[in-house]
Amino acid sequence: MPFDFWVGWVAVLTVLSLIGLAWVIYGAYFGGQKVGEDEQSPTVWDENLREGAHPAPMWWFWTMLASLVFTLVYLILYPGLGSFSGTFRWSQGGELEERLVAHESAFGARRSEIARMDLELIQANDVLMRAAKRVFDRQCAACHGLDATGQAGMFPNLLDHAWQWGNSPGAIEKTIRDGRHGIMVGWNSVLNRSEASQLVQYTLALADSTPSVHPGKAKYDELCVACHGADGKGSIALGAPDLTTGIYTYGGDVLTIKETILYGREGVMPAFGGILDDMQIRLLVAWLSRS
């Protein structure tokens, strides 16, 4: 059925039921029947219990009249009667738009000022830093933990100095805005058990110094060097972690490192560029790069 039919349907039914309602109310109060008139053949129960016809109290009438008047006024001012949009031209989308504009004019200037502010100035401002912590709590803490030290053996600690994608303000901002996708391939198909164990030992040894002679070095130089580098310093451009820090996102014990080497890892940082605005991202960068 065409849309116009249903528009008419809504309007006609609304008007008819209002008229019907008015008629019922009017009839019940002023329909000509008086108290006691309906008693030619009164129904009597239990010897003397009679059904009467006492009218409803008048304050009911006034309440219902007021409701009817309110309804009429409402239907004139606001949308409700078919496609008639009301003399106020109110709409849900329009109201949201208005509020967004009001929000922007109230806070927009200050927000864009903060979005361009020097990080040091933000960091020196307690109010802004508290706001930054609130943004962190709401948007970041689910993965990185309320204290930002990482959790679940897979979400990185943000308070240490080992940042696989870099901890310069620019790098942090890019990470937040565009997200990151880190992939370490698994070497299960090319390593035998002893080679894997040697590689684990070599990885652990890298934390102290780069060993020149080590049973795991040959495989490291063959498989790992492309991303993690000859000295194990990793590569921020590739998101390959620095193996010399002794900090391991997924765990630094022998078994976990072995699992990482054999089966690989995949870490995803979602992009928040579409979720946070520039000011919120600036606040987070300031909060995360504070000393």
Partner 1 sequence: MSVLGIHRKLEENSGLLIFGILFVSAIGGLVQVLPSVFQDELVTPTSETQPYGPLELLGRDVYIREGCSTCHSQQVRPLLAEVKRYGPFSSAGESAYDRPFLWGSKRTGPDLHRVGAKYSDAWQRVHLIDPRSVVPNSIMPAYPWLAERAADPRENIQTRMRRLQMLGHPYSDDQIAQAPYLVSDKTELDAIVAYLGVLGDAAGSDGRMAH
CA gap 278, 117 in Å, rounded: 11
Instruction: Decide: 156 and 150 in contact? Cβ < 8 Å.
Output: yes
Window of 109-117, 124-132, 227-235, 269-277 that interacts with partner 1 by CB under 8 A: 269-277
Instruction: Decide: 258 and 200 in contact? Cβ < 8 Å.
Output: yes
Radius of gyration of the chain (CA): 37
Beta-bridge partners for 265: 184
CA gap 237, 72 in Å, rounded: 67
Q: Is 269 in the site for partner 1 (CB under 8 A)?
A: yes
CA gap 288, 158 in Å, rounded: 7
Return the number of the residue (44 or 96) whose C-beta is nearest partner 1.
Answer: 96
Q: Is 39 in the site for partner 1 (CB under 8 A)?
A: no
Window of 88-96, 112-120, 195-203, 213-221 that interacts with partner 1 by CB under 8 A: 88-96
Window of 124-132, 134-142, 230-238, 251-259 that interacts with partner 1 by CB under 8 A: 134-142
DSSP 167-195: -SHHHHHHHHHH-EEEEE---TTT--HHH
Q: What tokens does 50 get?
A: 């009679």
Q: Is 10 in the site for partner 1 (CB under 8 A)?
A: yes
Helix, strand, coil % in the chain, rounded to nearest 5: 50, 5, 40
Q: Is 83 in the site for partner 1 (CB under 8 A)?
A: no
Window of 7-15, 71-79, 238-246, 251-259 that interacts with partner 1 by CB under 8 A: 7-15
Q: Is 52 in the site for partner 1 (CB under 8 A)?
A: no
Q: Is 53 in the site for partner 1 (CB under 8 A)?
A: yes
Q: Is 99 in the site for partner 1 (CB under 8 A)?
A: yes
Return the number of the residue (123 or 157) whose C-beta is nearest partner 1.
Answer: 157
Return the number of the residue (151 or 197) whose C-beta is nearest partner 1.
Answer: 151
Q: Is 100 in the site for partner 1 (CB under 8 A)?
A: yes
Instruction: Decide: 136 and 148 in contact? Cβ < 8 Å.
Output: yes
Contacting partner 1 within 155-184 (CB under 8 A): 155
Q: Is 17 in the site for partner 1 (CB under 8 A)?
A: yes
Window of 13-21, 124-132, 162-170, 232-240 that interacts with partner 1 by CB under 8 A: 13-21
Buried b (16+ CB within 10 A) or exposed e, 191-201: beeebbbbbbb
CA gap 222, 154 in Å, rounded: 26
Strands 265-269 and 180-184, by their bridges, are antiparallel
Among 19, 35, 44, 96, the residue binding partner 1 under the rule CB under 8 A is: 96
Kindly state the smallest distance separating residue 270's Cβ from partner 1, in Å: 6
Binding site for partner 1 (CB under 8 A): 1, 3, 6-7, 9-10, 13-14, 17, 23-24, 26-28, 31-33, 38, 53, 92-93, 95-97, 99-100, 103, 139, 141-143, 145-146, 151-152, 154-155, 266-271, 274-275, 277
